Amino acid sequence: MRRGSYQRTFCILIAGALFLGLPGLAAAATSIAIQRENVPASPARVVTDEVGRQVSIPANVKRIVSLAPNLTEIVYALGLQDRLVGDTNYCDTPPAAKEKPRVGNPVNPNLEAIAALHPDLVLATTSINRVDTADALEKIGIAVYTSDPHTVRGMLDSIAHMADLMGATEQGKELVARLRQRLDAVQARVADKPLAHVLFVVQEQPLITIGQNTFIADALRWAGAESVIISDHNWPQISLEEVLRLQPDYIVFASDQGDSSAHEVADLRKRPGWQGLDAVEMGHVIDISEEVSRPSPGLVDAIEELARKLHPDAFAKNGRARTEAGAGQFAFAADSIRGVAQEHSSCAR
Amino acid sequence: MSAPAQHGSAFGVQAYARVTSPHLRVAVEQATYAYEATDRSAPKFMLGPVTFEARQSELVAILGPNASGKSTVLKLLAGLEKPLSGRVQIDGTDVSSLDLRTRAQRIALVQQESELLFPLRVWEYVLQGRYPYGKRLRFESDEDCLFAGNALAQVSADALRDRWMDQLSGGEKQRVILARALAQHPSLLLLDEPTQHLDLGGKVELLRRLRRLADEQRYTVLVVTHELNLASEFCDRIVLLHKGKCRRVGTPGEVYERELLEEVFEAPLDVERRMGRRPRVMLREMD
Amino acid sequence: MRPLTPKRVALVCAALLGVLFVVVVISLRLGAYPISVADIVVTLVNGALKHWDRIPPEFSLVVFGLRLPRIALGIVVGAALSTAGAGFQALLRNPLADPYVLGVSSGAALGAIISLIATPHTAGALQASAFAGAMLTITAVYFLGRRGGQLDTATLLLAGIITMSFLSAVIMFLMTTLSGRDLRGMAFWLMGDLSSPTVDLRWLFLVLIIGVGCIYTTASDLNLILTGEKEAQHLGVNVQRVKFVVYVAASLLTGLAVSVSGAIGYVGLLVPHVVRMMWGTDHRLLIPTSAIGGAILVVAADTLARTIVAPTELPVGAMTAIAGAPVFIYLMRRRMR
């Protein structure tokens, strides 16, 4: 009996050692190894990003990975697309971004794929990326700058900061100035108009709209509109009854690029509840680009589009003001030039 | 009140003295117990002073109708409850003072059924009876296998060794359950109404087996039952309980008295006594 | 009559550890970053010998920084969940019990959500908060699950289910206040995610060993308890103490696993059953083999999850279900003979 119990103890000890040993070695090795890895390639500076993290960024940022569609847009807008070595599966604006190497979804990117691209800087944003991703990348010595835009102005500041980090300060200033100019122009037009009361529909079923503190709410204000729903929750779920009571002037949908036919007024008129809305009856249903929810240069397009649809009278006359909106790469600017040309041709003197 | 002395039992008053006899296994002295019934309207249940003994190779029946306190006596014997007063001793020690493992080495309580969650082989099941010996986390030794094998043999279930427990018949299962209890190598075997679900043949077979175990392997077996004739036929001693009171302790001949039995079992009975044979109880013809 | 011997336990465990080793090697090899087996071996050997300067920095980063921690975490989580599952199945006398049935994962999820709302950017806050939530739930369910001052199986199960429902309701309520980005993160957490080990792995392994060890000490007792609690008591098992130890240890293991990796499903349920089918129900073998088996399953599932549709990563929980269920069905049919 005694001999048996020694044997047993011995066997259990061996098994335990094996069980522990392999992964334990790995674990120990891991934590030691990583400490030695945080040696940046070129001289670095330490900046504080928009969520308060200290990030050590190399002076020369040559390889950039973007973890969100809006950040990819910003990189292209700054003219730095040659330095963009990777983006996410959802990055499709501008279309050239689709050709870049992919690192997965913004919420759950493939860390190894990011590491394989040897980025000098990874761009993240609180609106779609997770803290865990930033933590994990930091742990393996990759610099992650997280932006945290809450307002349109904040977004402009953010663009300026990021441009600075990537060594494109001048381009950044220029882009921000252009965008600001366009925004100011819109503001100038709609400033003396009454605010349009709109219902911004994030989702139809169940009916979800936006809260006061969201980015979209701020964008709406720039376009001369205001949400009829006042809420501190970011994505409040409301009932159609409430909307019927408030009777907004316009219903605004933000749809995917190719899906703009989804909200035909005719469809809405057939639906119970929606029928009772004055806005539906009068056909005041607006579909704008989903860029309105994205802190990127395309947002300004969306704001202009929305402002134009909400306050058509503010934009109908004074074609000159339109051309002042400035040249840009975006669709609206091109439209405006065409529009002015038409006007001038039709107003043949 | 128990009154063994009345019937000139040899054990008599000496039973109250300190245990000295080497063959005395179980000694219950003036044990009492009481508990509140869960239903408030029902009165407190009192188990009056019970006194009896059991020795090596004896088969004792705790006999009585329902609610007479038989199961309570069993609980006291198994050490599951402590008597309010008096003593319940096994091999000279108070049962309730023993720790769980030692108790399991001395006393085996045989269950009727075994609800297994996962399939188990017969020999695995019987080997579990060796648990009280050795450390908590233990692997069975050759000695354990020997005991388990013996236990199976003692109930003639050796052939069932490699079968799955859930594929056994009722009788086979009961033998295996008994074997596990025997593997504990106890001094005392306790069975609570073991004949409940058996047919007549099964009942007789079981009692015969218990008798054999007592005679040949020198176990002390205590059976709680209400089967009058089986108790009479196979048991050395009867402890007759009625509404918590110990009415009589003695051999079947001494205990089976018509008026007493009629009073206890509340049924018209006839007791047939024949010379040299155990008394037999029958229902009296009703007019 | 061939009773279980320590030698057999050691042999089976060694064989399974061998399988785990192979799975780990394969997992180390696969991934988006191009690195050959030779490079991996060299890196590992140099790492073991602490010759850090001999390892190219990218290799060190990928092997020690990304893959190995993920694999190690998978081992911990897999082992913890399957051992807990085996323990709960015995404790609750229910073959359908899994580690989450007593509400531990809901408590952890609640902790996670609260941390997402309160401190969204603090590293490690999520894990700490989830663990705290798990511990509170364990305590609450313990006290609710008692009857007459002792853990009662049926009451415990009921207490666990009620607690789980209540916590789920609270979680749903809180989720309406989370902004979109946190909701997405929460969804991934709920599905199980091994990609971000922010807790020191050495602590995790320590708690794992302690938890599995505690449950293992009750292995013989559990064998008896599964034939009936009263029967076990009559054989000398201190049933109350065993139930308490198993409850605490299994809950601790579950809380640990869920805090660091979210709620990976099916591991705690399937692995003990598969192991039972192959090597029987004796807990002295079941416990260690479940642990190793769970580690194998999770590492394999995670490897598949991160390579099948690279660069997209699938949730581990989905892979464990997809990988585990057919194996289970096959074994079940084989047993039907």
Q: What is the dihedral of CA B187, B191, B195, B197, to 10 degrees?
A: -130
Report pLDDT digits (tens) over C118-177.
877 676 788 889 999 999 999 999 999 888 878 888 899 999 999 999 999 999 888 877
Which residue in A8, A31, A136 is closest to C6 by CB distance?
Answer: A8
- Rounded to an integer, the average pLDDT of B205-233 is 93
- Rounded to an integer, the average pLDDT of C199-214 is 89
Q: C138-142, long-range: CB within 8 Å, 24+ apart, which pairs? A: C138/C102, C138/C104, C138/C107, C138/C247, C138/C248, C138/C251, C138/C252, C138/C255, C141/C102, C141/C103, C141/C104, C142/C247, C142/C248
Report pLDDT digits (tens) over B60-94.
999 999 888 898 999 999 998 888 888 899 988 89
Task: Determine contact: C124 vs chain B, CB below 8 A.
Answer: no
Q: Is the CB of B129 less than 8 angstroms away from the CB of C5? A: no
B143, pLDDT greater than 50: yes
Can you give the pLDDT at residue A274? 83
Q: Which residues of A63-98 are buried (b: 16+ CB within 10 A; e: fewer)?
A: bbbbbbbbbbbbbbbbebbebbbbbbebbebeeebe
How many CB atoms lie under 10 A from the CB of residue C334? Answer: 10
Report pLDDT digits (tens) over C242-286.
999 999 999 999 999 999 888 898 899 999 998 998 898 999 999
Residues of B in contact with A1 (CB under 8 A): 134, 141, 143
pLDDT band at B232 (very low <50, low <70, confident <90, very high): very high
Is the model more confident about C204 or about A28?
C204
Residues of B in contact with C237 (CB under 8 A): 100, 131
CA distance C103 to chain B (A): 23
- CB-side neighbour CA atoms (13 Å) of A99: 5
Can you give the pLDDT at residue B185? 93
Report pLDDT digits (tens) over C42-70.
877 787 777 777 777 777 777 777 888 88
Give the residue on B whose Cα is nearest the Cα of A7. B139
Q: Is the CB of C184 less than 8 angstroms away from the CB of A128? A: yes
- The residues that bridge with A104 in the sheet, in sequence order, are A109
- Structural domain boundaries of chain B? 112-186
Can you give the pLDDT at residue A326? 41
Q: Is the CB of C311 less than 8 angstroms away from the CB of A19? A: no
CA distance B185 to chain A (A): 18
Residues of C in contact with A51 (CB under 8 A): 121
Residues of A in contact with B138 (CB under 8 A): 5
Can you give the pLDDT at residue A107? 84
CA distance B179 to chain C (A): 13
State how far the Cα of B229 lies from the Cα of B225, in Å rounded to an integer.
Answer: 11
Name the token pair of A317: 């006359």
Can you give the pLDDT at residue C96? 84
| CATH number 3.40.50.1980 is the correct assignment for the domain at A44-148 | yes
Which residue in B118, B132, B148 is closest to C1 by CB distance?
Answer: B148
Helix (H) or strand (E) holding A226: strand A225-227
Q: Is the CB of B145 less than 8 angstroms away from the CB of C223? A: no
CA of residue A14 relative to chain centroid, distance: 54
State how far the Cα of C84 lies from the Cα of A334, in Å rounded to an integer.
Answer: 64
Task: Determine contact: B142 vs chain C, CB below 8 A.
Answer: no
Which residue in C4, C218, C234 is closest to B139 by CB distance?
Answer: C4
| ipTM of predicted assembly, 2 dp | 0.84
C335, pLDDT greater than 70: no
State how far the Cα of B178 lies from the Cα of B163, in Å rounded to an integer.
Answer: 16
Residue C259 lies in a domain: yes
Q: What are phi and psi of C137, to 5 degrees?
A: -65, -45
Residue C19 lies in a domain: yes
Is the model more confident about A6 or about C308?
C308
Which residue in C14, C60, C196 is closest to A135 by CB distance?
Answer: C196
| CATH number 3.40.50.720 is the correct assignment for the domain at A196-316 | no
Taking only residues 212 to 271 of chain C, the set having a beta carbon closer than 8 angstroms to any beta carbon of chain A reads none
CA distance C31 to chain A (A): 7
Q: Is the CB of B114 less than 8 angstroms away from the CB of C228? A: yes
Taking only residues 138 to 177 of chain C, the set having a beta carbon closer than 8 angstroms to any beta carbon of chain A reads 176-177
Residues of B in contact with C218 (CB under 8 A): 136-137
Owning domain of residue C190: 6-336
Helix residue spans in chain A (DSSP H): 2-35, 69-77, 111-116, 131-139, 152-165, 169-190, 215-222, 240-246, 265-270, 278-281, 298-310, 312-316, 319-324, 331-346
pTM of this structure: 0.81
Task: Determine contact: B253 vs chain A, CB below 8 A.
Answer: no
Can you give the pLDDT at residue A258? 45
| Ordered per-residue pLDDT tens for chain A, 349 residues | 344 455 555 556 655 655 555 555 555 555 544 444 444 455 678 888 888 888 888 888 899 999 999 999 999 999 999 999 999 998 888 889 899 999 988 888 888 889 888 899 999 998 888 888 888 888 888 899 999 888 899 999 999 999 999 988 999 999 999 999 999 999 888 888 888 899 998 887 778 888 888 888 998 888 888 999 888 877 888 888 888 888 898 888 887 644 554 556 777 778 777 888 888 888 888 888 878 888 888 888 888 888 888 888 887 655 444 444 444 444 444 444 444 444 444 444 4
pLDDT band at B209 (very low <50, low <70, confident <90, very high): very high
Question: Whole-number mean pLDDT of chain A?
Answer: 78
Can you give the pLDDT at residue C284? 94
Residues of C in contact with B136 (CB under 8 A): 217-218, 220-221
- Any idea what the CATH number is for the domain that residue C295 is in? 1.10.3470.10
Can you give the pLDDT at residue A318? 52
Residues above pLDDT 70, as percent of chain A: 75
Q: Measuring CA to CA, which residue among C86, C67, C77 is closest to residue C26?
A: C67
Residue C132 lies in a domain: yes
Q: Is the CB of C227 less than 8 angstroms away from the CB of B125? A: yes
Can you give the pLDDT at residue A334? 45
- Structural domain boundaries of chain A? 44-148, 196-316, 318-349
Residue C305 lies in a domain: yes
Can you give the pLDDT at residue A313? 83
**Given this chain, do its domains A44-148 and A196-316 carry the same CATH topology?**
yes
Q: Which of A60-69, C177-186, C300-309 has the lowest mean pLDDT?
A: C177-186
Name the token pair of B88: 């319940």
- Rounded to an integer, the average pLDDT of C77-90 is 96
Domain count, chain C: 1
Summarize chain C as % helix, strand, coil (round to 5): 75, 0, 25
